[in-house]
Amino acid sequence: MPQASEIAWLIPVFPLVGAVLSGLGLISINKKINNSREIVSLGLISFVGISAVISYKALIEQVNGYQSVEKLFVWANAGDFTIPMGFILDPLGSVMLALVTTITLLVMIYSHGYMAHDKGYVRFFTYLALFSSSMMGLIVSPNLLEIYVFWELVGMCSYLLVGFWYDRDGAAHAAQKAFVVNRVGDFGLLLGILGLFWATNSFDFNEIATGISASISDNSIPIWAALLLCFLVFLGPMAKSAQFPLHVWLPDAMEGPTPISALIHAATMVAAGIFLVARLQPLYSLFPSIQFIIALVGTITCFLGASIALTQMDLKKGLAYSTVSQLGYMMLAMGCGAPVAGIFHLVTHACFKAMLFLGSGSVIHAMEEVVGHQPVLAQDMRLMGGLRKKMPYTSTTFLIGCIAISGIPPLAGFWSKDEILGNAFISFPAFWFIGLLTAGMTAFYMFRLYFLTFEGDFRGENKELQKELLIASKSDLDEENEEEHEEHGSIHESPWSMTFPLVFLAVPSLIIGFMGLPWDSKIANLLDPEEAETAAKAFELKEFLPLAIASVVIASAGIFIAYQAYFVKKINLSVLFAEKFPNINQFLSNKWYLDDINEKLFVKGTRKLAKEVLEVDSKVVDGVVNLTGLVTLGSGEGLKYFETGRAQFYALIVFGGVILLVAIFGFQSPQVS
């Protein structure tokens, strides 16, 4: 029997086969396929499950010291020019595959309950399988060219999933926004890949780093060109992993079904950018200035996301900006030259953030029973409260996620986030301070979400508040759904298919952090044994404790303030902050005005440019074409009178022409004196 690492190429193939089969069924026998939705979903879940089993086995092999596997074949060649394709399975890839297949499997199980009554159920599962196949293919890609192919497939699937409810204007616009913003980053990525190939004649990660280093040494390419190429490649991860200023698509992408938020925007698609930067660490480590830029972008992103999350009332968008912030931490780690810390936080974050998103979906699913299928109302925390007693599984797992992401020991987030902050303290102390401040903000807004949603009294039956929120959001009340839910609406716990993934993810959120203990990091031993050995030898408790204590203290302070403001309600923090700092409150409420800037500068600017181009096209280009046609038509109309078919008329014209020529030449002849 072959080793799992040897057949890793099958991991993306199984979900792809399932997606193709169900997709063909939707095209050819749509009614029968939709009537057999349970069979189709079970089949697609089974395909992903097979991929998960192979992934787990491959991870175990890598942990036990099985060598990395890389198998290539020539996809295209012309003379000395060859393009290899194939797959690679190494420790980094095995960790990512195990993570992606696990989250995908749980999200599919969850979706069986969440999307049970949706008419696009089978289409949704088909998109999920296709997306998971694309992400798995990206992970096992052995070079930049193959990564780019799957990179674009992931983007396409994201467009389909975010815009799944395409009949809703919000979802359609969000899908378009995500697609356009990611194309900006992807264009830079493509230019960078082509430039690196031009400079090194290779798409291989290590060969590119070696080739660039050699080219700079022998002055065959200038240093500025190498820096530019590195930055262009980095634009791809900036967009895909929602880094400032290309982060604006991710919060809007919450318009898609909640399982998509858990899958794409917590554990897989947004992680692709972090994964690519980790793959390119041999290249980026050559240029400290590029690493500084990466760390700077990550720091701005983590602070920006946390600051905007402070004012969000939409449950999913609060979690979305939290994701932006946590992705900033991961990118900060990459900029500090600590890819292991970044990947470790990626893994822990995927567990508790997927759980939080799925928990929010459970809440929204329950809220719809009371307020109707109005996303504006079902997701607004001002209409929630008191759900802990009615939804014990959801509330308990959500609380675990809040503690984990806040960085409270011994849960997972503490170990991974503190490892990043420790590396930042050594490399960029100013960035460490901002990261520490952000940790306090994170704890505050996450427990703000928890207290507003699960504690206090239930506010969802307040009809006046519902109307005010609908008017403020410029939405119309869905009277049909309102009447339906007046008859039998009540808050209740979600079905087992939705609560099981929550309970399952709560386990790693509690214990997976112990894989990265700074004095004995199992994940570092797997990903980079040399670095792990060096870190273990250099570990000093007296250096670790002050930083860890500072992190825990500021996180505890954030939780305490949230407790006082939203549980005990001794202070009305929202009103107090808005009164004392109105400009800052307005700045944060308007999301740093970045959406407004994009709207005026790019959206309206592009439309204005398009109108001007249309004017030039209609008046100048079309004018020239129309004038040419008119001249041709006019000359034809005039000349037709000279085509009579009469010999006498033609002789008269000739005679007249001769006389005209004689007159002209006679007039031009010199006078004889």
pLDDT in tens, 643-670: 666 777 777 777 787 887 788 777 665 5
Q: How far apart are CA 51 and CA 100, in angstroms?
A: 10
Q: Please check the confidence at residue 401 and state whether its pLDDT lies above 90.
A: yes
- Looking at the DSSP bridge assignments, the partners of residue 516 are 521
Is 459 domain-assigned? yes
Q: Which of 41-45, 256-260, 491-495, 645-649 has the highest mean pLDDT?
A: 41-45
Q: Please check the confidence at residue 484 and state whether its pLDDT lies above 60.
A: no
Residues 49, 105: contact at Cβ < 8 Å?
Answer: yes
Residues 204, 279: contact at Cβ < 8 Å?
Answer: no
Q: How far apart are CA 53 and CA 581, in angstroms?
A: 54
Is 632 domain-assigned? yes
- Model confidence at 474, in pLDDT bands (50, 70, 90)? low
Task: Supply φ then ψ for residue 516, to 5 degrees.
Answer: -120, 35
Q: Map tokens 């022409």 to a residue.
A: 657
* Whether residue 410 has a cis bond before it, omega within 30° of 0: yes
**Cα dist. 237→162, 187, 210, 373 in Å?**
19, 11, 22, 35
What is the CB-side half-sphere exposure of residue 543 using CA atoms within 13 A? 13
pLDDT of residue 538: 83
| Nearest of 311, 576, 346, 259 to residue 449 by alpha carbon | 311
pLDDT of residue 644: 66
pLDDT of residue 488: 47
Q: Please check the confidence at residue 138 and state whether its pLDDT lies above 70.
A: yes
Q: What is the mean pLDDT of residues 369-376?
A: 74
Task: Supply φ then ψ for residue 73, to 5 degrees.
Answer: -140, 155
Three-state DSSP class for residue 231: helix
Three-state DSSP class for residue 643: coil
Burial 186-200 (b: 16+ CB within 10 A, else e): bebbbbbbbbbbebb
Residues 203, 193: contact at Cβ < 8 Å?
Answer: yes
> Are 600 and 583 members of one domain?
no
- Considering 121, 142, 163, which residue would you say is the last residue of a domain? 142
> Are 158 and 80 members of one domain?
no
Cβ neighbour number for residue 315 with a 10 Å cutoff? 26
- Considering 77, 107, 142, which residue would you say is the last residue of a domain? 142
Q: How far apart are CA 186 and CA 188, in angstroms?
A: 5
Do the strands 520-521 and 516-517 form a parallel or antiparallel pair, or are they unpaired?
antiparallel
- Model confidence at 487, in pLDDT bands (50, 70, 90)? very low
| Nearest of 627, 477, 14 to residue 22 by alpha carbon | 14
> Are 58 and 180 members of one domain?
no
- Looking at the DSSP bridge assignments, the partners of residue 70 are 88
Which tens digits make up the pLDDT trace of 338-372? 999 999 999 999 999 999 999 999 998 888 877 77
Is 404 domain-assigned? yes
- Considering 549, 565, 589, which residue would you say is the last residue of a domain? 589
Q: Which of 46-55, 415-424, 515-524 comes out lowest in average pLDDT?
A: 515-524
pLDDT of residue 379: 86
> Are 199 and 58 members of one domain?
no
| Token pair of 207 as six digits | 């060969």
Q: Which of 243-252, 586-595, 605-614 has the highest mean pLDDT?
A: 243-252
Share of the chain above pLDDT 70, in %: 95
Is 92 domain-assigned? yes
Q: What is the mean pLDDT of residues 140-146?
A: 93
Residues 505, 355: contact at Cβ < 8 Å?
Answer: yes
Roughly how many angstroms between the first and final C-alpha of the chain, as a whole number?
117
**Cα dist. 232→196, 243, 281, 478, 505 in Å?**
10, 14, 15, 47, 36
> Are 601 and 661 members of one domain?
yes
Query: What burial class does residue 184 get, using C-beta atoms within 10 Å of its C-beta: 0-12 exposed, 13-18 middle, 19+ buried?
Result: middle
Residues 401, 477: contact at Cβ < 8 Å?
Answer: no
Q: Please check the confidence at residue 337 and state whether its pLDDT lies above 60.
A: yes
> Are 131 and 153 members of one domain?
no
Which tens digits make up the pLDDT trace of 183-218? 999 999 999 999 999 999 889 998 999 999 998 988
Strands (E), 79-124: 81-89
- Chain centroid to Cα 527, Å, comes to 24
Q: Please check the confidence at residue 608 and state whether its pLDDT lies above 50.
A: yes
Is 380 domain-assigned? yes
> Are 236 and 370 members of one domain?
yes
Is 488 domain-assigned? no
SS (H, E, C) 406-459: HCCCCCHHHHHHHHHHHHHHHHCHHHHHHHHHHHHHHHHHHHHHHHHHHCCCCC
| Token pair of 56 as six digits | 């787990």
- Model confidence at 628, in pLDDT bands (50, 70, 90)? confident
- Chain centroid to Cα 184, Å, comes to 13
Is 484 domain-assigned? no
Do the strands 69-78 and 81-89 form a parallel or antiparallel pair, or are they unpaired?
antiparallel
> Are 197 and 271 members of one domain?
yes
pLDDT of residue 508: 92
| Token pair of 662 as six digits | 């004689």
> Are 566 and 653 members of one domain?
no
- Looking at the DSSP bridge assignments, the partners of residue 84 are 74
> Are 281 and 321 members of one domain?
yes
Length of the chain: 673
Q: How far apart are CA 95 and CA 63, in angstroms?
A: 10
Q: Which of 34-43, 248-257, 309-318, 459-468 comes out lowest in average pLDDT?
A: 459-468
Q: What is the mean pLDDT of residues 519-545?
A: 86
pLDDT of residue 670: 59
pLDDT of residue 597: 84
> Are 362 and 466 members of one domain?
yes
pLDDT of residue 482: 44
Share of the chain above pLDDT 90, in %: 48
319's CB contacts (< 8 A; 6+ apart) are 261, 353, 356, 357, 360, 449
> Are 191 and 89 members of one domain?
no
Is 524 domain-assigned? yes
| Token pair of 652 as six digits | 């008269």
What is the total count of domains within the chain? 3
Q: Please check the confidence at residue 112 and state whether its pLDDT lies above 60.
A: yes
* Structural domain span for residue 164: 143-475+493-589
